[in-house]
Amino acid sequence: MTESPAGGRVERELMPPAEFDRLADLLARGMYEALEQEAARLAGRFPHDGRSWQLLGVSHLARDQDRTALGLLARASEMMPDNAAIWDNLGLTHYRLHDFATADTCFRRATSIEPGLLSAWVNWSANSCSAGDAASAERQARQALQLQASSAAAWLNFGNALFDLGRLEEAERAFSNALQRQPSLLDARIGYGMVLDAAGRQNDAVRCFESVLAMAPGNWRALANLGKIHSAMGDSPRASACYRQAAGVPGVANEVLSGLLFLRLYEEPADPVSVFAEHCSFGERLEAPFRGVLPIHANARDAGKTIRLGFVSGDFRVHPVAHFFEPFLAAMDRARFEVHLYSNHPGEDEVSLRLRKCADNWTKVDRLTDAELAQRIREDGIDILIDLAGHSSHNRLSVFARRPAPVQVSWLGYPATTGMQSVDYRPIFAAADPDRSLQQQFVEKLVHVHCAPSFRHPVNLPDVGPLPALKRGGVTFANLNRSDKLGDAVVRVWSRILGCVPGSQLLLGGIPNGEVARSLVERFAASGIPESRVRVEMRGSMDAYLALHRDADFLLDPFPFSGLTTSEHAVSMGLPVLSLAGRSLASRQGLVVMSVLGLDQWVAWTEEQYVRKAIGFAGNLDALAALRSSLRRRLLSVSDAAVEAACMQSAFREMWRRWCDGEAVVGFEVEANGLVT
């Protein structure tokens, strides 16, 4: 019996307890068709009893028919608004549909009605973790554990929250507790492996993920994590095999496919044709659901107006992308351009705060669904939407697939195509494409910008110091790039160089942990270079990183994925970079840095040239010393953020003009003076 809205009493007949128990038994036994037939019959007989609709919804939920379940459970919640279990089921459905905000409201309602409902606290903590709110997830998981300390699911969610909060030791204990209570809980085993990996215990992590695959062959999360570890260890073939196997599993997350594409840029040899084809295939996957939807944009077609630019990135923080983006942003003409930054990362730091001050609007979007973010961009009236991530972490390419802005661009964060027809342009530094051959590797139309990259160097750069070889008596080659760029071909070629330069040594910096360090030393030993000639330094502070440059004579750029941030840092510390340019944009980043300095002789185009040049430069210490003393000054004379900003503003203005005039998307050049040709 319930109250009517007017306050009078009406009789609403509920199904007998025995009928409900029989339905619940069918659900527990997985007899979904029989359950749905009986629940539908009882819904007709007891139309005001929301529990029949609830069990219908839960049955569809169990069969992964989430949209159908949503309508049924919503109807149940209207009939029985004080039933906590129904709100819990409805919240779980919204969670599975990635509507985390609505799910949060449902779980809040469920726990307010029945504070002791364990499943609601467990589901709520999982939802909060997926929404990027690890602090709330931790609180909710703690509450679940207070209700039932033996809940493996609660320990799992507790571990996930602690992992996201960076509390690795506590997370490891939480995952262990989950596995003690339910050894078959694969998600806890995967979480445990991720903790081991983050703690630098790669061998243990590999064994953990392999145990998952022994229990569930083809588990894409385990495969993707194995691929990540093998990549960090420099084993691109094994990494690629893991990612490819994961990519073939139904339901695999888009970020795993993006991870495979990113890995393709490291592979030796990286065939640009096949890399391009794989990017296009993934672009089709993202865009297919929206092919029949014509985008409608209300933006005024006024070529001379103040253009609203929206930049989307998860790297508005201490990150290489921010090193390049910040000086450009600070130099923009704010009278002609309105800047909106959409930050897709849960954390903020001092760089985030500086970027906020350079923008007209800052919006955290890491908790927004794709549909919500696309709608927000439309509401903000963005004219040109710029992706700064490509297929790197924290990207929102699936939002670009919905084309929320009339002009869409990819820039800076990823040295390859997005593969998406919905992204119109890709600006690149003209020096990267001297023969204008790169367009065939991009879906986007290339915009060649004739300027040097701007870069935010540390405020107090240390002195470059004298050439170390003059004191040491032998040349120190260095590499300070990520260890996953050091594939077998790199080790082979660098070993050959070391073998041809008596007394030389190799300094490897920025190594993430001891296991990667040991692996690198062993790989060079297998190529004939003893451990005594390979110096390995762990990843440290920026000051420690910069100090390493004072111990090296010049940098050997890895290939086929060359360095950009590391090359900028090296040149600022007086170290020239010997780079091997290939056919892809990823292989030509060192080319950009050295050619804009007028040092094209430091760029090789074949392995043989690379080796000969390394040997030749190592044999001319006087020339190296002279170059070392002048490089920082040379770099600062060509790296002008105002010039880059002017060029990019001309590029954006031309893109906008073409859309306003209804002209086709085509590539073009922007000269150093801002002239479009």
Q: What is the pLDDT of residues 244-261, one digit of tens each?
A: 999 999 989 999 999 999
pLDDT at 529 over 50: yes
CATH number for the domain that contains residue 403: 3.40.50.11380
Rounded CA-CA distance 177/179 in Å is: 5
* Sheet arrangement for strand 505-511: 534-538, 505-511, 476-479, 554-556, 577-580, 603-604
Residues 314, 365: one domain? yes
Average pLDDT for 297-301: 96
Q: Are residues 489 and 627 in the same domain?
A: yes
Q: Which of 507, 628, 629, 634 is nearest to 576 (CA)?
A: 628
The answer to whether residue 419 sits within a structural domain is yes
Q: Is the pLDDT reported for residue 10 higher than 90?
A: no
Last residue of a domain, one of 419, 449, 479: 449
Confidence of residue 346 (pLDDT cuts 50, 70, 90): confident
Task: In whole angstroms, give the CA distance from residue 329 to residue 425.
Answer: 19
**pLDDT at res. 12:** 64
Q: CA–CA distance from 5 to each of 2, 13, 644 (Å)?
A: 10, 17, 65
Q: What's the first-to-final CA gap in the chain, in angstroms?
A: 78
- The answer to whether residue 363 sits within a structural domain is yes
Average pLDDT over residues 421-439: 97
**Same domain membership, residue 396 and residue 497:** no
Report if residue 597 sits inside a domain.
yes
Matching residue, tokens 């051959």: 437
Note whether 370 and 402 are same-domain residues: yes
- The per-residue pLDDT of the chain, averaged, comes to 94
- Distance (Å) of CA 400 to CA 329, 385, 454: 22, 8, 26
Q: What is the mean pLDDT of residues 29-34?
A: 86
DSSP 351-406: HHHHHHHHSSEEEE-TTS-HHHHHHHHHHTT-SEEEES-TTSTT--HHHHTT--SS
**264 alpha-carbon distance from chain centroid:** 15
pLDDT tens per residue, range 572-593:
999 999 999 999 999 999 999 9
Rounded to an integer, what distance in angstroms lies between the CA atom of residue 518 and that of residue 503?
Answer: 22
Same domain assignment for residues 357 and 391: yes
Domain span at residue 327 reads 307-449
Q: Are residues 502 and 580 in the same domain?
A: yes
pLDDT of residue 6: 35
In this structure, the answer to whether residues 394 and 364 fall within a common structural domain is yes
Same domain assignment for residues 393 and 515: no
Within a domain: 161: no
- Residue 65 in tokens: 């028919």
How many structural domains does the chain have? 2
Question: Does residue 551 surpass a pLDDT of 90?
Answer: yes
For the chain, the helix, strand and coil percentages under 3-state DSSP, each to the nearest 5 = 55, 10, 35
CA distance 283 to 397: 9
Residues 483 and 632 in one domain: yes
C-alpha angle 353/359/361, rounded to 5°? 100
Quick one: average pLDDT of 506-533?
95
Helices 118-130 and 152-164 meet at what angle, rounded to 10?
30
User: Distance between CA 163 and CA 179 in Å, rounded?
Assistant: 16
**Claim to verify: residue 441 and residue 473 sit in the same structural domain:** no
Do 628 and 510 share a structural domain?
yes
624 and 485 within one domain: yes
CB-count burial class (<10 Å; 0-12, 13-18, 19+) for 270: buried
pLDDT band at 232 (very low <50, low <70, confident <90, very high): confident
Residue 271 has pLDDT above 60, yes or no: yes
Taking only the tens place, the pLDDT of each residue in 147-186 is 999 999 999 999 999 999 999 999 999 999 999 999 999 9
Q: Where do we find the tokens 């044709």?
A: 273
pLDDT tens readout for residues 137-149: 999 999 999 999 9
Residue 26: predicted pLDDT: 86
Residue 70, in any domain of the structure: no
585 domain residue, yes or no: yes
For 350, the token pair is 């001092």
Identify whether 172 is part of a domain: no
Q: pLDDT band at residue 457, thresholds of 50, 70 and 90?
A: very high
Q: Is residue 613 part of a domain?
A: yes
**CATH number for the domain harbouring residue 501:** 3.40.50.2000
What's residue 107's pLDDT? Answer: 98
Last residue of a domain, one of 449, 479, 514: 449
Please report the pLDDT score of residue 36 as a whole number.
85
- The pLDDT tens digits of the residues spanning 599-611 come to 999 999 999 999 9
